[in-house]
Amino acid sequence: MAVNVYLDFNATAPTRPEVVTAMVAILAAGGNPSSVHQAGRTARNRVEEARGSVAQLLGCKAPEIIFTSGGTEANNFALSCFPDRPLFISAGEHDSVLAAAGPRACHLPLHSNGLLDLVALTDLLDAADGPALVSVMLANNETGVIQPAREIADIIHERGGLFHCDAIQAVGKIPIAFSELGADMMTVSAHKFGGPQGMGALVLRDGLAVPPFIRGGGQELGRRAGTENVAGIVGMGVAALSAKKGLDDYSALAELRDFMEARLLEISPESNIYGRNAPRLPNTSAISMPGVASELQVMSLDLDGIAVSAGSACSSGKVKASHVLTAMGANEEEAGSAIRISLGWSTTDAEIGRLIESWTRLYQRKSPKFAA
């Protein structure tokens, strides 16, 4: 059965039609934005217009934005900027931060509700060998838990440190103002809010000096060489304007998400909703079905034409429990029975009804509670 209920917006949002239209026009026009002739100047204007549109969504200055090939590159860029500083990251970070940080990083603990342990953060920074670089995501991609970024920034800055905030999952779902978060660096990804895949940005606080991430040209003020992806940048800019207009629609999804969770808990009272008692993105739910593997849930829902994500990942045929949920205190069995349901601007009441019906049928077939 073809997927016709898409509830995996946190993995990637559908590309907005207006983005496709704008990108096709740019691809047809051509032009290198580094060229001085008319075609080049036109392309440069399109890039800078898009930079301004993205800045409106992010609440930052346009020159603070460095366009990248996506969120993963932006995270790698940010964590490479200060290799001599002690590095701290939260235990619930995305794999692109975990891998970029590598073994030199100290992992900061989470409370059972998914929020960062600020006492531990303070103690570890006080004991660090010099001012640190700290990376904490604004909103978790699996649970939707929103961290108190401003409070975290203040703790870091009081100790002379720098704060990188991965805001990839939050952009377009909640209002964001880079100037108010207190971050020194912030990363975003276009396809999470309806833009093209393969486009992202690193936002650098005005005055923060960083070495070039890619060398070979003067693009992006000398910090990221290479001919700009004009069509992708324009698409990101168009998506940013649409996402800004649609923030109220995303806020309204909380009511639908809460209804869904209440119904699923009525069906399976032993289920757990991770991060439920913390501030969360309005569209995200990470819920367990005890005794039923997350992969089985994803496949069963997929057969019913419903797309969600697993709360754990498969690698080389082996099931690996979600590091986010285990950092929140879940054991491997609990983490291995969770799925992520993420709503979006096109989600309807009827679609949530279909999810509840399909999830209920699976629960009644497979849950140990109903075993003969």
97 and 129 co-located in one domain: yes
> Which of 226, 245, 264 is the C-terminal boundary of a domain?
245
Rounded CA-CA distance 139/162 in Å is: 19
Residue 261: which CATH number? Answer: 3.90.1150.10
| Number of domains, the chain | 2
pLDDT at residue 321 in the model = 78
The pair phi, psi for residue 36, each rounded to 5°, is -95, -10
Q: Indicate which residues carry an active-site annotation.
A: 314
Summarised one tens digit per residue, pLDDT across range 257-316 is: 999 999 999 999 999 999 999 999 999 999 999 999 999 999 999 999 999 998 544 433
Indicate whether 222 and 335 sit together in one domain: no
Owning domain of residue 301:
5-13+247-370
Co-location of 226 and 313 in the same domain: no
Q: Final residue of a domain: which of 220, 245, 270?
A: 245
Same domain, 240 and 111: yes
Q: What proportions of the chain, in percent to the nearest 5, are helix, strand and coil? A: 45, 15, 40
CB neighbour list of residue 319: distance below 8 Å, 6 or more residues apart: 293, 295, 312, 336
Q: Which tokens go with 202?
A: 């690193």
Edge-first strand order for the sheet with 284-288 is 284-288, 338-342, 309-310
Measured between alpha carbons, how far is 61 from 51 in angstroms, rounded to an integer? 9
Q: Splitting the chain (372 residues) into consecutive groups of 10 residues, what average pLDDT does each group show?
A: 85 97 96 94 97 98 98 98 97 96 96 98 97 98 98 98 98 96 98 98 97 92 94 98 96 96 96 97 97 94 96 47 94 94 97 98 82 56
Is 317 found in the same domain as 180? no
Q: Do residues 205 and 126 both lie within one domain?
A: yes
Q: In this structure, what CATH number is given to the domain that contains residue 105?
A: 3.40.640.10
Do 190 and 262 share a domain, yes or no?
Answer: no
Residues 239 and 264 in one domain: no
Q: Supply the pLDDT for residue 366.
A: 79
Can you give the pLDDT at residue 352?
98
Q: What is the pLDDT of residue 312?
A: 42
Torsion of CA 338, 251, 108, 93, to 10 degrees: 60
Neighbouring CB atoms inside 10 A of 47's CB total 21
pLDDT at 313: 43
Residue where a domain stops, chosen among 197, 214, 245: 245
Residues 161 and 283 reside in one and the same domain: no
Same-domain check for residues 128 and 60: yes
Q: What local confidence, expressed as pLDDT, does residue 99 receive?
A: 96
Note whether 225 and 265 are same-domain residues. no
Q: Are residues 173 and 37 in the same domain?
A: yes
SS3 200: strand
